[in-house]
Structure 1
Amino acid sequence: MNDVPQALRERALTALSAARARTAALTDCVDEQDLTAQHSPLMSPLVWDLAHIGNQEELWLLRHVGGRDPMHPEIDSLYDAFEHPRAERPSLPLLPPAEARRYSAEVRGRVLDLLEHTTFEGTALLDDGFAFGMVVQHEQQHDETMLITHQLRKGAAVLAAPDPGPPAGPPVTATEVLVPGGPFTMGTSTEPWALDNERPAHVRDLAPFWIDTLPVTNADFQAFIEAGGYRDRRLWAAEGWDQIRRHAIGAPLFWRREPGGWVRRRFGVTEPVPAQEPVLHVSWYEADAFARWTGRRLPTEAEWEKAARHDPVTGRSTRYPWGDEDPTPAHANLGQRHLRPAAAGSYPQGASPLGVRQLIGDVWEWTSSDFEPYPGFTAFPYKEYSEVFFGPGHKVLRGGSFAVDPVACRGTFRNWDLPVRRQIFSGFRTARDA
């Protein structure tokens, strides 16, 4: 008996179930009014995400893999992310919450039947269960998007999670780490559920550089504010300076200054800004200005990946900073296990061979790089996943945040966004030439 299909089936089932449980938790905790409201023009109503998840699952698994007819073709255009910008979606005739839930549940029931009988053969979509992995990652990415919507939502807290514990082990003493120059393998050709923009593996040759051992903290960023960083035109890219002047930005999103010090709003709770947490909700322009203020710079995407994956002893590029094993709670802050980053210096078991900490989880890290294809890139299974976003308009973020599920986070995973974005769970670390 061939155990490979059964192992793939079990992996897909576990991942599909975990994603759907998280989707339910993010949508069952609010009432119908909250589900249908648009909490920010930057985000969709939660009910749109809920039905969009089901619609994409139907499209790729039931239609493309299973060859089945559309269940409700009349709704396809409503949930096409490229046809309707987020700001317009509340005006569409969307499925009400109860119908959206029924539709997604009906799709899932049919998908589980398909999964039970698939042989994982015949098309590239089925190789290594890729189509199921793609759909799972899509749902988890929308779960992170919905968590961002929860952060933007006004009103009392509806989500809860335990806080991370204090950093374990001895304190970090080195503020930066030297990454040696030379070649390393970037990207992947073997990770079964890697998406098209992570492929193919290719060799990059980098000069030596220094990179921060830890992400930049709130205390670090507060020093930038107090030193007048938001008022110093010399630190800012032209578009960033225009943004902060036009919108009167003087601190990370959700921060405000009170007589007793800085406070922030986090998922409906107002609290003092924790000094040792990695800074969160900053744009690329803010990260770039801070780096210039320190006399440093943001790492390139290739530098970030080399710091995260290259083992100088073996010369290998590992799946994660700590090696090839899947993440555990001892390695990184992932999966919405906590609703905040862990303090800088946490997760010593997740350090890279060179000693760089928290490269995976906690906060997405801005890099200096534009989102571009790797040499030999091939769009798969559709151009709209990556190809249409390539170019200087989007900057690359790496590493994942506390809101990212492990299935959608690895050493090769690439995120991208507009450099003005602040509502995302974004932070950064800095680098310098050696």
Structure 2
Amino acid sequence: MLGDKGDTPLLLNKSPATGDVGVIVDHTGDTKRDIQASSNATSLRTAPHSLYRDERWFTGKAPYAGICPGVNDSGIISSLPLPNLATSGQPELLQYFDNTWTLQETLFAGLRTRAAFYRQPDHKLRHPLIFYYGHPAAFYINKLRVAGYLNSPINAHLEALLEAGVDENSWDDLAKDVTDWPAVEEVHEYRAKVYRLAREVIATTKFATELGRPINMDDPAWAIVMAFEHDRIHLETSSVLMRELPVDLVSRHPAWPGPTAAARTSREERLLPANEMVSVPAGEVSLGKPNDFPSFGWDNEYGSQRLKVGAFQASRYLISNGEFYDFVVSGGYRERRFWSDDGWGQVRLHNKKWPRFWVLDGPAGLHEYRLRTVFDVIPMAWDWPVCVNYHEAKAFCSWRSERSGTTLRIMTEAEHHRMRDPLPDNPGCKDDMAMHSDGHQLARQGINLNLAFGSETPTDGSPLSASGFGDVFGNVWQWCEDAFAPLPGFAVHPYYEDFSTPFYEGQHQLLLGGSFIATGDEASIWGRIPFRPHFLQHSGIRLARSVAEPAGNGAGTRNGTGTRNGVRESNGTTARNGVSSYSGDGDCDVTRAFNQCMLLHYGSVAETVGPALPAVSWMELAHGFVQRVVNLLVETAQAQGLELRSALDVGCAVGGASFALTQHFSSVVGVDEDQVFIETARAMARAGNQAYQRYDRGQRVTNLLARLNTSVRPERVSFQLAEASILPTGIGSFDAVLAVGNPRSSRVHSTAFFERLCGPDAVVRPGGLVLLVDDILDCQSNATENAASNGSSGGMRMASEYEPLRSCDVPMIIREHERHFQHIVPRVTVWQRVNARQS
């Protein structure tokens, strides 16, 4: 019946005999008429079979030369260049919209049957393709409403159902799809309505030509170009899902670019081309897209960071299917030692023995394979780049390291920038090939980007960069060692607040360089995308290895530098949110203390423990020390019936306890003697987030993002630079004082500090509370003994003015690296000031 989701050919072209449902669209994109559903419930089943839909499948412009922008004289569609938002007006953006819309529908024209739309991926980590057919259209409506262009939905049900995709928690987070998805005809009709409405909005919106200035991220029009680029992101998503479908469910539409001819298909040619390691000297790079660069960008592309990069070597070409074949044949998928815990778990769960897009051609022991492209199975192209996930890339590095006797890895983000052609100080459109060349033009140059081709191409087929590397951009995405993280100065955009921030948790890896199907912003020099390490994209491997630096060169300096994934931050650079993560002397111990403190104050259990070890009970019990001591103070105050008006956090470090106190106290002051810590806490109050690093092993780090809890009231807290031993005279008096201290201070429990707890200038009001914690890193220093019995004037005063209320052990955990943790059990005491003396 109509809307049936069975395995039948899907036709939306009306014939006199059947009257199949569809929408007829003329070449201007205006709907002529709606064809009503035939009362014949079997019409779709009896329709003449055709692999391809006619123009009525296309709710926008059909992919014909002279009709749809981006279609050449051979009838093949490709991507237009990314628009220049400083010069483009309504005509240019209408063309880009039509190209974008028809690219998506030409891709989906490759699904032959209804089953292809509704079949859940076998890995169960994504929605079926019916979702991705409608999702980009729903995004247009939702974002046009957010930007104020529309005041009501077209179809509220579909716009809610099709709004959010899937980001599963782990490789084994499997679920059976039970969603009642709409019929293809319903989504097709919805897309037709969205196309007409979106085109009308674009045709009446003022862009650069009409405004006489560039449009920027503060303009409502930013939502329109955002919708274009979101649509293009899902060309990649959907094409991967189609590549994973059984091949009999798909067939390429004639307008879609076909796979390139594979030249090296015999096993004798599998190690061609030779793939030597190319040396890159130490140097500096600048990361981040300028705010005034005249193209659309996603929020994570903005910000800036200048880094010193140590000398390294990287493979001239991407790792080919031929090179990866030896890993497969030698049992790489059987050897546990090459894999991380999560990677090995995924191998075992899916019984993986070779890359997903390889197709076994005979008995398994023969190791004969063919290659699956998006729509076809072809002879194995040994010289095309292999497509693998991050776990497979890292396992291959381990295997090659063992064989070569050298430590190999994948590249870092900063190293990828060193491989690129250098940019001028003020880059412009001419420096970004995605902005000045369409896919057809790039194909003539041998560059596999912007849908120049419909598949991977030989790894030695593109021009080399100035530093001697092939496919720095294009062919397949390149996995990075870096976890996905914001650049300094990152800020969310109000039109899409959760585009990047949910993925700054250290569980998503960074991908750079674009693939053959990356278009628009994804194909630009600024593109950065995150994926979980078990996810497969059109993504591959470039090997890298660090090179020892001779003493005295720039990469070994200690003048204000710190490390980030094997690279060093240059002098004067600020870390996330404009906060320098390193003190002036650049001491690596200072850097480590900063990152440890951030993890202690803001890290979750998963972030603290990391993926190398399971979280055991003592780790979970010892986690969250800062929050637990705040809870202890608050509970004691409430038990005493005290008002929770003001609190002082002495040795506040990066502010975790201070922010926790704002949930209970109307006014909080945090003080610390470390300027970096104070600046970090202030930045957290302003921005609500702060990036830092977790040490894993050796030079390996994971980038993390600390975020304030939504219940925190940052407007209630202020942070001051001051030593605990010389607190400012005018700081005031408080209902509660928390004295935990930071890992770099030894003055919190000094005699001078105890003296400030007593007498006429005491920072604690009569009846107020003080919580003291033993020196975290020196348990020989006992705060309780110092407070009451050390014989000093401050200690004796405190003994006479305070009564102890509580004393308990509060365990804590400090991470050194993925297999080294400090389990510390400091004594925590709570005191009440009961005898306020004036002298």
TM range (shorter): 0.7 to 0.9
Unaligned segments of structure 1, at least 5 residues: none
Q: Which residue of structure 1 aligns with residue 260 of structure 2? A: 164
Q: Which residue of structure 2 aligns with residue 206 of structure 1? A: 309
TM-score (norm 2): 0.47
Question: Residue 345 of structure 1: CA displacement?
Answer: 0.5
Q: Secondary structure at the match of 1:231?
A: coil
Amino acid in the other structure paired with 1:364: W
Q: Which residue of structure 2 aligns with residue 149 of structure 1? A: 241
Which residues of 2 match residues 174-323 of structure 1 at below 5 A?
175-189=276-290, 190-191=292-293, 192-255=295-358, 256=360, 258=362, 259=366, 261-267=368-374, 269-280=376-387, 282-295=388-401, 296-310=408-422
Amino acid in the other structure paired with 1:162: G
Q: Which residue of structure 2 aligns with residue 426 of structure 1? A: 539
Paired residues of 2:288 and 2:304 also in contact (CA < 8 A): yes
Larger radius of gyration: 2
Cα-Cα RMSD: 3.2
Indicate yes or no: 2:448 matched with 1:333: yes
Question: Residue 39 of structure 1: CA displacement?
Answer: 4.2
Q: Secondary structure at the match of 2:100?
A: helix
Paired residues of 1:334 and 1:362 also in contact (CA < 8 A): yes
Question: Residue 145 of structure 1: CA displacement?
Answer: 1.6
Paired residues of 1:45 and 1:89 also in contact (CA < 8 A): no
Q: 1:208 to 1:5 in 2, by over 3 A?
A: closer
Q: 1:418 to 1:174 in 2, by over 3 A?
A: closer
Question: Residue 206 of structure 1: CA displacement?
Answer: 1.1
Q: Structure 1 residue aligned with 2:119, among 37, 40, 59? A: 37
Question: Residue 111 of structure 1: CA displacement?
Answer: 1.7
State how far apart, in whole Å, the 2-side matches of 1:218 and 1:410 are: 26
Question: Which deviates more from structure 2 when the two are superposed, residues 333-342 or residues 413-422?
Answer: 333-342
Q: Secondary structure at the match of 2:285?
A: strand
Amino acid in the other structure paired with 1:81: A
Q: Secondary structure at the match of 2:91?
A: helix
Indicate yes or no: 2:144 matched with 1:61: yes
* Equivalenced residues, count: 423
Amino acid in the other structure paired with 2:544: A
Q: 1:127 to 1:8 in 2, by over 3 A?
A: farther
Q: Which residue of structure 2 aligns with residue 377 of structure 1? A: 490
State how far apart, in whole Å, the 1-side matches of 2:242 and 2:332 are: 30
Paired residues of 1:42 and 1:87 also in contact (CA < 8 A): yes
Deviation string, structure 1 residues 63-122 (Cα, Å, up to 9, x no partner): 524143222223332112168979879533433222212222212212222212212479
Q: Structure 1 residue aligned with 2:472, among 336, 348, 359? A: 359
Q: Which residue of structure 2 aligns with residue 342 of structure 1? A: 457
State how far apart, in whole Å, the 2-side matches of 1:212 and 1:232 are: 24
Amino acid in the other structure paired with 2:258: P
Structure ranking higher on relative contact order (CA contacts 8 Å, 6+ apart): 1
Paired residues of 1:36 and 1:90 also in contact (CA < 8 A): no
State how far apart, in whole Å, the 1-side matches of 2:514 and 2:176 are: 27
**Identity, % of aligned pairs?**
23
Amino acid in the other structure paired with 1:308: R
State how far apart, in whole Å, the 2-side matches of 1:318 and 1:225 are: 44
Amino acid in the other structure paired with 2:251: V
Q: 1:33 to 1:22 in 2, by over 3 A?
A: same
Indicate yes or no: 2:164 matched with 1:81: yes
Q: 1:127 to 1:306 in 2, by over 3 A?
A: farther
Q: Which residue of structure 2 aligns with residue 109 of structure 1? A: 196
Paired residues of 1:44 and 1:87 also in contact (CA < 8 A): no
Unaligned segments of structure 2, at least 5 residues: 1-83, 264-271, 402-407, 548-839
State how far apart, in whole Å, the 1-side matches of 2:196 and 2:236 are: 23
Paired residues of 1:185 and 1:317 also in contact (CA < 8 A): no
State how far apart, in whole Å, the 1-side matches of 2:300 and 2:414 are: 14
State how far apart, in whole Å, the 1-side matches of 2:258 and 2:201 are: 37
Paired residues of 2:483 and 2:506 also in contact (CA < 8 A): yes
Point out the structure with the larger helix share: 1
Q: Structure 1 residue aligned with 2:131, among 48, 53, 61? A: 48
Deviation string, structure 1 residues 224-271 (Cα, Å, up to 9, x no partner): 222332233332222222322333222111322634722233345433
Q: 1:134 to 1:217 in 2, by over 3 A?
A: same
Paired residues of 1:12 and 1:132 also in contact (CA < 8 A): no
Paired residues of 2:449 and 2:515 also in contact (CA < 8 A): yes
Paired residues of 1:322 and 1:353 also in contact (CA < 8 A): no
Question: Residue 176 of structure 1: CA displacement?
Answer: 2.7
Deviation string, structure 1 residues 269-297 (Cα, Å, up to 9, x no partner): 433321111111x1211111112222211
Paired residues of 2:147 and 2:220 also in contact (CA < 8 A): no
